[in-house]
Structure 1
Amino acid sequence: MNAPSPTKAILRSIFSWKMLFMLIGSVAIFGGVFFKIFSGFAAMQAAMLNAPVPVVNVTAQPAESQDWGIEVSAIGVLEANRGVDVTTSVAGLVQQIKFESGEKVGQGQVLVQLDADVERANLASAQASLKLARADLERGQSLRSTDNISKATLEQRQSQYEVASAEVAALSAQIEKKVIGAPFNGVLGIRKVNVGQYLDAGNPIVNIQDLSKMLVNFSVSQKDLSDLKVGQAIRMSTDAYPVSSFDGTISAIEPLINQETGMVEVQGSFDNPQGLLRPGMFAKLAILLPTRMQVVVVPQTAISYSLYGDFVYIAKEGKAETGEAVTTVERRIVKSGERRNGVVLIEEGLKADEVVVTSGQLKLDSGTRVAIVKDETLVVPEEVPVE
């Protein structure tokens, strides 16, 4: 076997050294690049660690423990304690109108005067006949005492007097009916007649409503009948005054149960001193039963809803790694129940006095730092800007 020539040995040695130098150069170049990348990543991580943690402003309040009465809910329609269309029972021509639409009136106050000139003339004639009949009767009674006239003649004069008296009474009543007054204290509606208009008996003149007390009629299931009694408390709300509630009592319970529906009619009574309630309003009613229980409630705005259940955010005080006092939130699944007057009953998952977030939940997750601020949504500003 031939030995390699000296020239080939030298070339092989030179190429080995070149490869070594290239390898060392590559390592140096890529090592520098990797060092810069690592240094940049380390600096970024350090900056992130030193950056301030974002804090979300929220409003919050403690969950409350309340007496929660059991309620029976219903829907009803309001009507006035008394309300009618004022009409006339006799025909006649409208001579005077003595009221304005929407006016408050008292019982007996004259509203309309119908023309009664003919009736007054007839009454004057009847009164003259009555005067003559009375004189004849008195004269006959005097003569009868001395037997100067017969008993039959006296009875005839007595009859004539009574007929004349009845005619006067009838004409007086007819004239009185031509004066149409308010049947009770109340508020008038819109006028439906004009001066000079001829009215037939029964034509409406104006509506009058006694708004001092309102009645509401509603139905409840017969299964709740044993829990109801006259005088029981009722709470009512209406769409016209959504933030207000009205307290009343049960005034009557229908003795007959509807066989088709199994419902029983109930009537409630509400004082209406300010006249806020009006006939025809729809009302949401809650009959307050005597049984009560202690429950935990939160504002409706504190509840968030998802496919996995209802949840709230609980605000908790703690300390950061630096020792700084911080407030964070915990997302907690709860079981919510009945809703009343802007609050929700919490059946499971929450205790009284735990602080729940009431607004600002969209930016939250478990562990988010928060700052609890004052809720000024409904606060009236001290100075109203002038345009």
Structure 2
Amino acid sequence: MIRLLFTNRTLASSLLLAITFTLQTSIAMAAPSQTEETSATREIPDCTFTLVDHVTLAAERAGVIREIRVAEGDRIGNDELVARLASEEASAHLRLARLAAESDIAIRLAEKTQSVAFTELQQAEELNKRRQIYTEFELRRLRLTLDKTILEAQQAEHDRELRTLEEAVAAATLRSFEIRSTFAGTVVQVFRRPGEAVQQGEPIARIVNTGRLKVEGFAPVQQISDFHPGQKVSVVSTDVSPAVVLHGQLRFVDVSVQSVTQEVRIWAEVDNSAGLARPGLSATLRIHLDTPAAVHVSEMQASPETRSRK
């Protein structure tokens, strides 16, 4: 009985030792992978979301605002009319230029005149083959008349091209009275009202697009050698609930260092098409070093030329 009890205790101790050894081995094998994952990512705290696409639309010329077609909060498309200056005179000039460009009367008249001159010369030469009716001087005059009609037809074509260009200039002048959006976005400010006079360059409205955002921060100079434009990034913001996680690419690493803080300005561009983040929110930027841009740099550093120089 005592021997059986001793044997059971020995088996239990052996089993406990085997389980402990297995757990320690698993932990030891998992530890390198955790370290490797951490070493492949760098976190930059205290970053800020800012806009990539934002513009303040201005008047291209001086004038009086005839209409404002947007209000704050409106969604507008690319090249959509935002405002228009008074342009009645420019519209009239465009109509005149268009009528002139569409007219082909001078061309048709020149072609008919050329046809008559050619026929007259041809008949004169045929008659002279039978009997000398036209003198050489008269034939030269007929040839000169034909050449003149040919040049007049060419001049009529040239004049029509000039009128077409004048129409294009008039159309461009009329467009300069319009203020149009340069990309799709949201109107966040309207600075003017219909009836107000504006000078060239004065603001009319401000448009932003939050579909893509810039995440800007400062990284310690010791880590800059690991950062390269094109690396994938993840951005986490806990300023809102639930937390926002966005993805994108590192776009910029400054070439200069802040002398006081010994930090370098960097920023990444992230996709915010779902509208989860807003400009002004703070975030943590996580840069994934094991992305193609980092691999490319590592291969360059490990090239035979580099090793030979070492």
Structure-2 change in CA distance of 1:136 and 1:231 (3 Å): same
Q: Distance in 2 between matches of 1:106 and 1:204?
A: 19
Q: 2:106 aligns with which of 123, 128, 136?
A: 136
Cα deviation, residue 223, structure 1: 2.6
In angstroms, what is the RMSD of aligned CA positions?
Answer: 3.0
Q: Distance in 2 between matches of 1:200 and 1:131?
A: 35
Q: Distance in 2 between matches of 1:289 and 1:130?
A: 62
Q: 2:72 aligns with which of 101, 105, 111?
A: 101
Asked if 1:165 corresponds to 2:164, the answer is: yes
Cα deviation, residue 273, structure 1: 3.5
Cα deviation, residue 259, structure 1: 5.4
Q: Distance in 2 between matches of 1:139 and 1:216?
A: 68
Map of 2:97 onto structure 1:
126
Map of 1:221 onto structure 2:
220
Cα deviation, residue 167, structure 1: 1.5
Cα deviation, residue 198, structure 1: 1.8
For 1:70-219, what aligned pairs fall within 5 Å after superposition? Answer: 70=39, 71-132=42-103, 134-144=104-114, 146=118, 147=146, 149-219=148-218
Map of 1:298 onto structure 2:
none
Identity %: 18
For 1:174-323, what aligned pairs fall within 5 Å after superposition? Answer: 174-229=173-228, 230-237=230-237, 240-241=239-240, 244-254=243-253, 257-258=255-256, 261=259, 263-288=263-288
1:151-183 Cα offsets, whole Å, 9 max, x none, are 443343333222222211111122223232222
Q: 1:69 aligns with which of 24, 29, 38?
A: 38
1:248-277 Cα offsets, whole Å, 9 max, x none, are 2333133x6215646444321222234343
Counterpart contact for 2:83–2:179, Cα < 8 Å = yes
Counterpart contact for 1:215–1:267, Cα < 8 Å = yes
Counterpart contact for 2:236–2:285, Cα < 8 Å = yes
1:175-216 Cα offsets, whole Å, 9 max, x none, are 223232222111111211101112222221111111111112
Secondary structure at the aligned position of 1:122 is classed as helix
Counterpart contact for 1:235–1:288, Cα < 8 Å = no
Counterpart contact for 2:44–2:217, Cα < 8 Å = no
Counterpart contact for 1:218–1:265, Cα < 8 Å = yes
Structure-2 change in CA distance of 1:226 and 1:232 (3 Å): farther
Counterpart contact for 2:231–2:289, Cα < 8 Å = no
Q: Distance in 2 between matches of 1:233 and 1:125?
A: 58
Map of 2:8 onto structure 1:
none
Counterpart contact for 1:250–1:266, Cα < 8 Å = no
Secondary structure at the aligned position of 1:190 is classed as strand
Map of 1:332 onto structure 2:
none
Secondary structure at the aligned position of 2:175 is classed as helix
Cα deviation, residue 243, structure 1: 5.9
Counterpart contact for 1:246–1:270, Cα < 8 Å = no
Q: Distance in 2 between matches of 1:226 and 1:246?
A: 26
Secondary structure at the aligned position of 1:149 is classed as helix
Counterpart contact for 2:65–2:83, Cα < 8 Å = yes
Counterpart contact for 2:215–2:269, Cα < 8 Å = yes
Q: AA paired with 1:160?
A: D
Q: Distance in 2 between matches of 1:128 and 1:257?
A: 58
TM-score, normalising length: structure 2:
0.61
Q: AA paired with 1:270?
A: V
Q: Distance in 1 between matches of 2:252 and 2:66?
A: 46
What is the number of equivalent residue pairs in this alignment? 223
Secondary structure at the aligned position of 2:219 is classed as strand
Map of 1:381 onto structure 2:
none
Q: Distance in 1 between matches of 2:153 and 2:190?
A: 54
Map of 2:20 onto structure 1:
none
Q: Distance in 1 between matches of 2:278 and 2:204?
A: 20
Structure-2 change in CA distance of 1:242 and 1:164 (3 Å): same
Gaps of 5+ in 2: 1-30, 119-145, 291-310
Structure-2 change in CA distance of 1:144 and 1:209 (3 Å): same
Q: Distance in 1 between matches of 2:151 and 2:270?
A: 65
